[in-house]
Amino acid sequence: MKTSIEFSYRKPVITASIIAIITFVLLQFEAFDNPNRPTAWVLHFIGAYSLIAGISYLTFHIIFKRYKDPNNWSFGKDIMSFLFILAFVLLYILIFNSFYISYIDGNFTDSYVYDGRLFYYITFIGIVNFAAIKFLDFYIFYKKKSKQNPDYIEPQKIILEGKNKHEKIILDIDDLVMIEALGNYVLVFYLNHEKQIEKDIIRNSFSLISDQVQPIKQILKVHRSYIINMSKVINIETKNRKSSVKLKFIDEMIPVSKSAIESLKEFLVIG
């Protein structure tokens, strides 16, 4: 049975951090099952054991990295990986406890550690971590797979850059509604994540902005002061030989030059 390592294989440091956080939270809930222990002692050990969990994953990743082939991975290998990581966790905990007794507290005794309950709980935490990481693996795998589907269309982006290299607006092309000239600035009308109209100003000439969007098929300069997204056109009106368009989300009519009217009509007919 094939499985996936899309996340854990390619993001080992983030994976180790997630494991450490999950371990910390679950150990905190358990709190070593003894109300008589000082809070500082509990946090000391919880923090140490959580770091050990993350370090154990990194140890496994470094040692077995060459054998982790994302194209040839199975559920059996997942289980073996889990057992190896769990073995590293238990080994490091024993080393840590020995160090603690030898150099910090020679009188350290704890039934939770020595009667085996800690190791049972660590195994439970390991299973929770395993489930969380495999969920991320499969989520990213199927997300990537959906993008490889020929029916999936990645939204095209448009980048409007100002004179300052740090000044830019990045949008999905379908979210751009209109660009209006304002002297040495341009006013950009676009849709936010809630599909509500918003406006932003960029310090750049209208002609340079026009050059930036010129290669995009559905974006058209319809007037010396206006660039529109033709997919947002509702209708075209002509009065006294002057044409204008009505756009979605824009209240005013936008003038259209004679040189642009044919391109606009052609796009609307084809679209």
Domain boundaries of the chain, sorted by first residue? 12-148, 157-270
Q: Which residue has the higher pLDDT, 75 or 13?
A: 13
> Quick check: 193 pLDDT over 60?
yes
**pLDDT one-digit tens code per residue, 56-94:** 999 998 888 777 766 667 888 888 989 999 999 989 988
Q: What integer is the mean pLDDT of 230-244? A: 92
Comparing 37-46, 117-126, 160-169, 174-183, the range with the smallest average pLDDT is 37-46
Class of domain 157-270: mainly beta
Taking the C-alpha atoms of residue 268 and residue 231, their distance in angstroms, rounded to an integer, is: 8
Helical H runs in the chain?
12-30, 39-64, 75-103, 111-114, 117-148, 206-213, 258-270
Q: Which residue has the higher pLDDT, 258 or 34?
A: 258
Give burial (CB, 10 Å; 0-12/13-18/19+) of 153.
Answer: exposed
Q: Are 60 and 81 in contact, with CB atoms under 8 Å apart?
A: yes
Residues in the chain: 271
Comparing 18-32, 63-77, 119-133, the range with the smallest average pLDDT is 63-77
The whole-model pTM stands at 0.52
Q: What integer is the mean pLDDT of 167-190? A: 93
> Quick check: 248 pLDDT over 90?
yes
Q: What integer is the mean pLDDT of 136-160? A: 73
What pLDDT is recorded for position 44? Answer: 77
